[in-house]
Structure 1
Amino acid sequence: MLENSSIARNWSGWELSEAPRAAWAVTALSSVLIFTTVVDIVGSLLVIVSVFRNRKLRNSGNAFVVSLAFADLVVALYPYPLVLVAIFKNRWSLGEIHCKVSGFVMGLSVIGSIFNITGIALNRYCYICHSFVYDKLYSTWNTMIYVCLIWALTVVATVPNFFVGSLEYDPRVYSCTFVQTVSSSYTITLVFIHFIVPIAVVTFCYLKIWILVIQVRRKVKSEMKSRMKPSDFRNFLTMFVVFVIFAICWAPLNFIGLAVAISPSEIASRIPECLFIVSYFMAYFNSCLNAIIYGLLNKNFRKEYKQILMFLWMPRFFVQETSKGGTEGLKSKPSPVFNNNNQMKTDTI
């Protein structure tokens, strides 16, 4: 159990023996989580429906985008509502099974998200920096295998929580979640596997892409300026922003976990509770941001969002204005910038 919290445990619930939090704190935490849950569900569904509805968006790169949206959607449908119940009741009242399962699902979503972001970065890297082998590497069949492999690795990385006993209720964040102090070795391993190593891989991929983009833009500035569309750069920028926002939202919690795991007896008691809570809810908040980023930076997703929402608001009008993008390029490729020949690729995302 947690070292810094006094909890009287019984199987009808985990009761806080400390005084309830101030009303403003409960209101703030619940408001953030309600907003995150609603936007997460709506946004993730918009992303998934957009890709399946519009053939222009149906490509290998966006297979990972759909997988990432699924990872975001899962937590909004199950763990987040349970956390809200715990916030309002100031205790965990849903029993041990829901506690363990919700913590496990939370872990699947977190690790699945970073693995999918890594898959997206590798896909963009191959498409832009190794375009001659891209079609072979990312055929429809191979892409499905990659997505399945991502989720298989996610399960493998999450299942040990049951054997280590690290899924417990943490009253500080009202969540059944990973307890950083249960096993230092497992915490350190998990931080490296699900954060540090993927971040390093993604950073390498995007750094190589940035270098190539800068080189090509300088080289072709005079003779190809008229062929360079603003959308070409924005499409690559979309997924880069998704990665940066994820790293910002999850870095505090992971660094706290790493510090606590290195020296549990000394560091755990020194972590301000406020900092710990803010880092957790920053991580929760990240799950609703990806769909917003797509809508802000990607014109094709934005167009699909509008048409889907128009259908829900005015079905008759929508029938007359069926997605024009739905008849374009079934096998169009993902986010576009340049290939190794310094030639522009087509905007398809």
Structure 2
Amino acid sequence: LLVIVSISHFRQLRTPTNLLLLSLAVCDCLVGLLVMPFQILLIEPCWLLSDLACVLYYFIPFITVSASVLNMVLISVDRYVAICDPLHYSTKFTQQTVKVCVLLCWICSIFYSFMTLLDNLKQPGRYKSCDGECVININGAVDLVISFVLPVSAIIILYVRVFVVAVSQARSMRSHVVAVKLQRSLTVTVQRSELKAARTLGVVVAVFLMCYCPSYGMSLSGDIKISPSTNLFVYFLVYFNSCLNPVIYAFFYPWFRKCVKLIVTLHILQPQSRLTKVM
């Protein structure tokens, strides 16, 4: 919520990259507000609500997980263009372009979730073996490929490319003479800023992969018996990723720490607080 308020309120933070972080923060917030509180209903031995409510409940986790994955892909593309093609970044990644991409991201997530759960909506409760169960059926192989294999492959390929270019730029900077013109000095400063942003978002993506891999790894395990406690822990790990993202922001983004201080001290209620310089 602090990330959402910070980027939404302070005009200086409304950059294309931060708009992607805003969309990711909305996913995190929805997990905390709508997904986690209802997990207790799935832990209980009996599902107390209707079969339709069971299917509808799964819509929110499916949408948030799909949106998180797509947002990670967009963030990776954003860093790839910023590092590998910096001269055209400002023209390719405008605020309007990013807003359209984020909108399409959420539309695709909602559509994919609807198509995935469509069979369960036609006849709610058809897959449960006894009363009091909340069970749905999805095509695990299709979900694994679309929700994990394809986007994660794209993320890894893009970040490997970013890493290679970043190392190349770092070596190039070291080889330059210290005394340079102001223009070149500004360019180096911008490049370092972009590299730092790439490193921070790289940590976000790495944590994302560590939290999501066990869940989708279970999909590849086939008929291997997995205890209910292990199953619960693995899915909790997916949701826990939403808690880790803001923590990473707090550690790596100075502007976020400054924004939190301004929000907690109610500075944002003052006139013209939107124009405060936080970067």
TM bin, normalised by shorter chain, reads 0.7 to 0.9
Structure 2 residue aligned with 1:271: 226
Using the size of structure 2 for normalisation, the TM-score is 0.83
Distance of 2:276 and 2:176 partners within structure 1: 33
Determine if the alignment matches structure 1 residue 326 to structure 2 residue 268. Answer: no
Contact 2:82–2:194 under 8 Å retained in 1? no
**2:83 is aligned with 1:128:** yes
Structure 2, unaligned runs of 5 or more: 180-184
Which digits, 9 at most, give the CA deviation of each residue in 1:105-133, with x for residues without a partner? 11000011010011111011112211232
Confirm whether residue 258 of structure 1 aligns to residue 220 of structure 2.
Answer: yes
How do 1:220-299 and structure 2 match up within 5 A?
220-223=173-176, 233-260=195-222, 267-268=223-224, 270-299=225-254
Q: Give the corresponding residue for 1:77.
A: 33
Counterpart in the other structure of 1:8: none
CA contact (8 A) 2:83 2:194 kept: no
Partner Cα distance (2:33, 2:158) in 1:
32
Gaps of 5+ in 1: 1-44, 261-266, 330-347
Indicate if the aligned counterparts of 1:102 and 1:176 stay in contact, CA closer than 8 A.
Answer: no
- 3-state SS, counterpart of residue 111 of structure 2: helix
Structure 1 residues 243 and 225, CA, compared in 2 at 3 Å: closer, same or farther?
farther
Which residue of structure 1 aligns with residue 257 of structure 2? 302
The CA distance in 2 between the partners of 1:65 and 1:200, in whole Å, is 21
- Are residues 224 and 63 of structure 1, via their aligned partners in 2, closer, same or farther at CA, if it must alter by over 3 Å? farther
Aligned amino acid, residue 110 of structure 1: V
Q: TM-score, normalised by structure 1?
A: 0.67
Contact 2:215 2:238 in 1 (8 A): yes
Q: Secondary structure at the match of 1:221?
A: helix
Structure with more strand by fraction: 1
Query: Is the contact between residue 7 and residue 13 of structure 2 (CA under 8 Å) also seen in structure 1?
Result: yes
Q: Paired residue for 2:165, among 191, 212, 226?
A: 212
Paired with 2:177 and 2:256, the residues of 1 have a C-alpha distance of 27
List aligned pairs for 1:3-42, cutoff 5 A: none
C-alpha separation between the residues in 2 aligned to 1:175 and 1:203?
A: 38
What is the match of residue 140 of structure 1? 95
Equivalent position SS for 1:74? helix
CA contact (8 A) 1:83 1:175 kept: no
CA distance in structure 1 between the partners assigned to 2:171 and 2:133 by the alignment: 50
Distance 1:304 1:321, change over 3 A: farther
In angstroms, what is the RMSD of aligned CA positions?
3.1
Which whole-Å deviations, capped at 9, do the CAs of 1:30-89 have from their partners, x for residues lacking one? Answer: xxxxxxxxxxxxxxx1011110122221111111111111111112222321223454x5
Matched residue type, 1:218: R
Q: 1:59 aligns to what?
A: 15
1:109 equivalenced with 2:64 (yes/no): yes
- Number of equivalenced pairs: 264
Shift of 1:247: 0.6
Cα displacement (A) at 1:321: 11
Higher helix share: 2
Task: Give the 3 Å change call, closer, same or farther, for CA 155–320 of structure 1 in structure 2.
Answer: closer
**Secondary structure of the equivalent of 2:264?**
helix
Q: Do 1:157 and 1:190's aligned partners in 2 also have CA atoms closer than 8 Å?
A: no
Query: How far is 1:102 from its partner?
Result: 1.6
